[in-house]
């Protein structure tokens, strides 16, 4: 590993995408169900990669090229290299501080808010986008360089031991779980399975003497931290003396007061459910010496991207686009948020939720009933799971219409335009609800 690390230090970085070669990279040839990077290893070298790390049973391993490094498992080698790098990165003679982040909802938004706040004082390396899986985490760790003063690494999980496998790579000193909710139940099996999986971050911190930032308003997180005897750095509406200012059509973004009214924060985030994400970032910033005024300014300057809590004012409507992913917890929070908004009629355009396993129909029924109780003027549902929910609930009322795909919903709205509405547009990525945005 030391030999490979020396090659890494003299390289221009690492990549697992042969199309991204610019010159001087280490190319890791990864295998998956539908791809095999080994087939592109020699081409990667031809395109300028300095070395290619390949499976020892691949054709590339027998090429005779001295720049080919054969290993039993390139993905494991990538993780090992990242862990080695983590252990050999120091700031002013001290081991680099890493903040590890996971949760059911709000991971990426919270990570970006933390990055924005910490950047007031430090040079921060953080996970890019949502590169938070078993490939993305080591790639994120390997982005840490000599100028990095603090790192924020996001970790995602679809299966019970995903976080347990990622913490030895990132080796966080501080942990933060945004929340635990009903998501990926197909992989986790149950809500208790979700808590077990996410709690693996707390397990790592407890075993290594670190501290965790905890939303003290969340009884599940408080119990999980207490069970492990963790040192808690608190935040939350109660802890921070915070209150949410009701949104209106004229003021649709999240606004809140802090310190029992002493401070006001006006964000560019759509959705009151982002309040805890904001408070988490403030807690992290204050712990690391960021003045509160600077932290608030950084949060107010942050604009979300990638269809996460984005608010768009079109020619005809105000659209809250929260389409990156959807699960029962985030769907409920989004519906609660728009239900509180006043000043215009409201419409909910919802795509089905994925990866819920045996609970899928029941959870879609719960969402449908919540929608019906929320007084929307129009409800448009997309996907087979919502069709099944409609069958269970009955006709569900004249305001509810169902479409097999987002494209067919788009055609309907194009022929029957919505004008003057506040609209929630939400669904799992597989449903492609973003296709509807141009006709709103």
pLDDT for residue 88? 95
Mean per-residue pLDDT over the chain, rounded: 91
Lowest mean pLDDT among 32-46, 65-79, 123-137, 329-343: 329-343
Inter-axis angle of helices 360-373 and 328-340, to 10 degrees? Answer: 0
pLDDT at residue 93 is higher than 80: yes
pLDDT at 306 over 80: no
234-267 per-position pLDDT tens digit: 999 999 999 999 887 677 789 999 999 999 999 9
Domain with CATH 3.90.190.20 in the chain: 310-439
Split at pLDDT 50, 70, 90, the class of 307 is low
If we measure between CA atoms, which residue out of 389, 237, 250, 226 comes closest to residue 318? Answer: 250
Quote the CATH superfamily of domain 310-439: Mur ligase, C-terminal domain (3.90.190.20)
Pairwise CA distance, residues 401 & 236, whole Å: 38
* Lowest mean per-residue pLDDT among 150-154, 250-254, 361-365: 250-254
- SS in 3 state form for the chain? CHHHHHHHHCCCCEECCHHHCCCCCEEECCECCCCEHHHHHHHHHHCCCCEEEEECCCCHHHCCCCCEEEECCHHHHHHHHHHHHHHCCEECCEECEEEEEECCCCHHHHHHHHHHHHCCCCCEEECCCCCCCCCHHHHHHCCCCCCCCEEEEECCCCCCCHHHHHHHHHCCCEEEECCCCCCCHHHHCCHHHHHHHHHHHHHHHHHCCCEEEEECCCHHHHHHHHHCCCEEEEECCCCCCCEEECCECCCCCCEEEECCCCEEEECCCCCHHHHHHHHHHHHHHHHCCCCHHHHHHHHHHCCCCCCCCEEEECCCCEEEEECCCCCHHHHHHHHHHHHHCECCCEEEEEECCCCCHHHHHHHHHHHHHHHHHCCCCEEEEECHHHHHHHHHHCCCCCCEEEECCHHHHHHHHHHCCCCCCEEEEECCHHHCHHHHHHHC
Considering only the C-alpha atoms of the chain, give the largest distance between any 2 of them, rounded to a whole number of Å. 70
pLDDT for 440? 93
The pLDDT of residue 323 is above 80: no
pTM score, whole prediction: 0.83
Percent of the chain with pLDDT over 70: 96
Of 406, 243, 246, the residue nearest 326 (C-alpha):
406
Task: Output the pLDDT for position 130.
Answer: 76
pLDDT tens for 36-59 read 999 999 999 999 999 999 999 999
pLDDT of residue 397: 65
Q: Is there a contact between 344 and 422 (Cβ–Cβ < 8 Å)?
A: yes
Please determine, for residue 374, whether its predicted confidence score (pLDDT) is greater than 90.
no
Residue 343 has pLDDT above 80, yes or no: no
pLDDT at 396: 64
**pLDDT per position as a tens digit, 412-434:** 999 999 999 999 999 888 899 98
**What pLDDT was estimated at residue 293?**
97
Which pLDDT does position 193 carry in this prediction?
Answer: 85
CB of 403 within 8 A of CB of 350? no
Residue of 209, 215, 254, 261 lying closest to 230 (CA atoms):
209
The CATH code that applies to domain 2-73 is 3.40.1390.10
Ranges of CATH 3.40.1390.10 domains, the chain: 2-73
Average pLDDT rounded to a whole number, residues 133-144: 96
- pLDDT at 64 exceeding the cut of 90: yes
State yes or no: pLDDT of 403 exceeds 80: yes
Higher pLDDT: 428 or 406? It is 406
In this structure, what are the phi and psi dihedrals at residue 175, rounded to the nearest 5 degrees? -125, 150
Classified by CATH at the fold level, domain 89-301 comes out as 3.40.1190
Mean pLDDT of 22-38: 94
What is each CA distance from 86 to 119, 139, 143, 148, in whole angstroms?
A: 20, 12, 10, 12
What is the pLDDT at residue 320?
87
The residue ranking higher by pLDDT, 306 or 351, is 351
Burial of 254 (0-12, 13-18, 19+ CB in 10 A): buried
**pLDDT band at residue 303 using 50, 70 and 90 as cut-offs:** confident
What value does the mean pLDDT take over residues 75-92? 95
Q: Band of the pLDDT at 186, cuts 50, 70, 90?
A: low
């Amino acid at each position: 590993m030391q030999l490979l690390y020396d090659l890494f230090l003299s390289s221009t970085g690492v990549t697992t995408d042969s199309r991204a070669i610019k010159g001087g990279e280490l190319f890791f040839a990864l295998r998956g169900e539908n791809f095999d990077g080994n087939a592109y290893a020699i081409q990667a070298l031809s395109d300028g990669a300095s070395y290619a790390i390949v499976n020892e049973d691949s054709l590339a391993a027998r090429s005779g090229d001295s720049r080919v490094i054969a290993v039993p498992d390139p993905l494991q080698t990538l993780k090992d290299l990242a862990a080695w790098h983590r252990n050999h990165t120091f700031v002013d003679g001290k081991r680099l501080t890493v903040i590890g982040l996971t949760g059911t909802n709000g991971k990426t938004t919270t990570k970006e808010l933390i990055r924005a706040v910490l950047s007031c004082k430090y040079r921060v390396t953080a996970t890019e986008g949502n590169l938070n899986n078993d490939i993305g985490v080591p790639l994120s760790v390997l982005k840490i360089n000599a100028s990095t003063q603090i790192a924020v690494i996001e970790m995602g999980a679809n299966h019970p031991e995903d976080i347990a496998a990622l913490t030895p790579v990132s080796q966080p000193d501080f942990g933060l779980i945004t929340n635990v909710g009903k998501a990926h139940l197909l992989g986790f099996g149950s809500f208790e399975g979700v808590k077990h999986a996410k709690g693996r971050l707390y397990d790592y911190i407890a075993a290594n003497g670190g501290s965790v930032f905890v939303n003290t308003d969340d009884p599940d997180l408080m119990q999980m931290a207490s069970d492990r005897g963790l040192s808690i750095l608190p935040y939350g509406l109660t802890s921070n003396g915070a209150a949410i200012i009701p949104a209106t059509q004229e003021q649709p973004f999240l606004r809140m007061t802090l310190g029992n009214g002493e401070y006001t924060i006006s964000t560019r985030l759509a959705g009151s459910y982002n309040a805890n994400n904001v408070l988490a970032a403030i807690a992290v910033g204050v712990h690391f010496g960021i003045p509160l005024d600077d932290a608030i300014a950084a949060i107010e300057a942050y604009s979300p991207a990638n269809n996460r809590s984005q608010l768009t004012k079109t020619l005809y409507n105000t659209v809250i686009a929260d389409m990156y992913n959807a699960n029962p917890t985030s769907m409920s929070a989004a519906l609660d948020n728009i239900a509180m908004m006043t000043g215009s009629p409201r419409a909910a355009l919802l795509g089905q939720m994925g990866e819920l396993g045996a609970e899928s129909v029941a959870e879609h029924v719960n969402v449908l009933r919540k929608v019906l109780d929320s007084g929307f003027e129009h409800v448009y549902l997309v996907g087979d799971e919502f069709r099944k929910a409609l069958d269970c609930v009955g006709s569900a009322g004249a305001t509810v219409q169902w479409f097999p795909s987002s494209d067919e919903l788009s055609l309907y709205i194009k022929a029957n335009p919505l004008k003057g509405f506040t609209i929630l547009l939400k669904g799992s990525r597989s449903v492609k609800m973003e296709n509807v945005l141009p006709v709103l």
